[in-house]
Amino acid sequence: MPGTRRLTALVTALAAISALATACTGQSGGAAADDPGAEVVLNFWHGWSAPSEVKAIEENIARFRAAHPNITVKVTGNMTDDKIHQALRAGGDKAPDVVSSFSTDSVGKFCNSGAFVDLNPFLEKSGIDTAKVFPPSLLNYTRFKGNQCTLPLLNDAYGLVYNKDAFRAAGITAPPKTWSEFVQVAQKLTKAKGDSYEQLGLMPTFHGYETTPMRLAAQWGPAYFGPDGRSNLAKDPAFTSMLLAQKDLVDKLGGYEKLERFRASFGDEWGAEHPFHKGQVAMQIDGEWRPAMAKEAGVTFEIGTAPLPVPDDQAADYGKGYVSGTIMGIASGSRKQNAAWELVKYMTTDTEAVVAFANAIHNVPSTVEALASPKLQVDDAFRTFLDIARHPKSSTTPPHADGGTYQLTFTDLGYQHEKGAVPDLPAALARTDAQIDTDIAKAE
């Protein structure tokens, strides 16, 4: 699921999850006693809503049913995290047994509150070594303090999508690999038009759809928390370097106010009027879905994809990026956890199921075998994102007990800094650390 939609889901989910801490009274994985071979009906809730996505889910469930004819799966789609959390709190026969969520940032709260059961006993019973099945970057966002309360179900990788025709017109022969090259290319691709733009090399502000502080920070290899578990923004120079680099790019492309006026003319991120589709921007920080969406929108230019650039002093790490994804877990209130595990195991670890689902909704597969499957439909544009997902230094934001609140706090700092409202960045980072630590202490 695209990141901006994840962030929206996160904001609505955080308050709801906190109420689960005292409402979850289900069985642990080791205590699940239901017979997975008995006739049973599972309630499976997910957030997908597009016809192609719903069809893909139905096809996967049909394959599962062929192998497990005793398990009927009642599927409910287009469920927001808020509705899911309300149902989990209420419990009862209509509550979901199995949940798929787009809010990877909420894993810390899912695990910490007991909303989802720890899957480690189920994994051990099934002989599944998660370190061999899933890329490490995906495991990082599906567990918290040893509690593997979710598993990955497809994932997203973020890179650079660019207009090859605009590159050729500007005499640029290859996508930039380092940040200094990135700045030069963005400037070269920018064409002024009065007090606005005919074409902007890149919209660098943090309101620019997927251009979030977290996406950019990943290229610097940051450590959000120190060994003591406390927020690490002020101590890790990666955050200062990223914020200064982004602010410098904002200034060189015309300044915050001019850029924001131009951004006001942009169309919807998920529609045909996206600024990349219309040629308003020549480069876009985005996920694996963008090339296909651009083609569906009828763009006439050639599309290229590449990893995001890295800081000049980390050139050897070029190819890495930010990764995220969808997660799947078992509700702690379910009395059908062994049967639920069969569904979760199938959808998250069966290579055929993962590949078929990835092909159907144009997401990156979430297992090592699926990433290498010859049945995976891959073109040059999509291959870039597969490589990013496989890169050993690709990373994500770590789960925490406050869900993704710390990311929202960090993003607020980014909003203030890019418009020049932060005169003392070290002090602002220290204050942000203090706020994050306070929020986490309350959550714990």
Domain boundaries, the chain: 3-156+324-390, 157-317
Across residues 18-42, what is the average pLDDT?
65
Q: Give me 214's structure tokens.
A: 């977290």
For 142-167, the pLDDT digits (tens) are 998 889 999 999 999 999 999 999 99
Q: Locate tokens 């567990």: which residue?
A: 143
pLDDT bucket at 31, cuts 50 / 70 / 90: low
Residue 188, both tokens: 């070269």
Average predicted confidence (pLDDT) for the chain: 90
Q: State the pLDDT at residue 29.
A: 42
**Comparison of pLDDT for 20 and 407, the residue scoring more:** 407
Entry pTM: 0.84
For residue 173, the 8-state DSSP code is -
Q: Are 161 and 277 in contact (CB under 8 A)?
A: no
* pLDDT tens digits along 169-205: 999 999 999 999 999 999 999 999 999 999 999 999 9
Bridge pairing between strands 281-287 and 196-202: parallel
pLDDT at 17 over 50: no
The answer, yes or no, to whether residue 111 has pLDDT greater than 80, is: yes
The neighbouring-strand residues paired with 138 are: none
Alpha-carbon Rg for the chain, nearest whole angstrom, is 22
Cα–Cα distance for residue pair 18/113, rounded to 1 Å: 7
Average pLDDT value for residue range 132-149: 89
Asked if the domains at 3-156+324-390 and 157-317 fall in one CATH topology, the answer is: yes
pLDDT at 22 over 80: no
Superfamily of domain 157-317: Periplasmic binding protein-like II (3.40.190.10)
Residue 97 has pLDDT above 90, yes or no: yes
CATH class of residue range 3-156+324-390: alpha beta
Residue with tokens 């289900």: 26
| Region class of 209: left (phi > 0), else alpha (psi between -120 and 50), else beta | left
pLDDT per residue over 261-271, tens digit each?
999 999 999 88
In the chain, the percentage of residues whose pLDDT exceeds 70 is 93
pLDDT greater than 60 at residue 21 = no
CB 109 within 8 A of CB 17: yes
Q: What is the mean pLDDT of the segment spanning 73-100?
A: 87
pLDDT for residue 2: 55
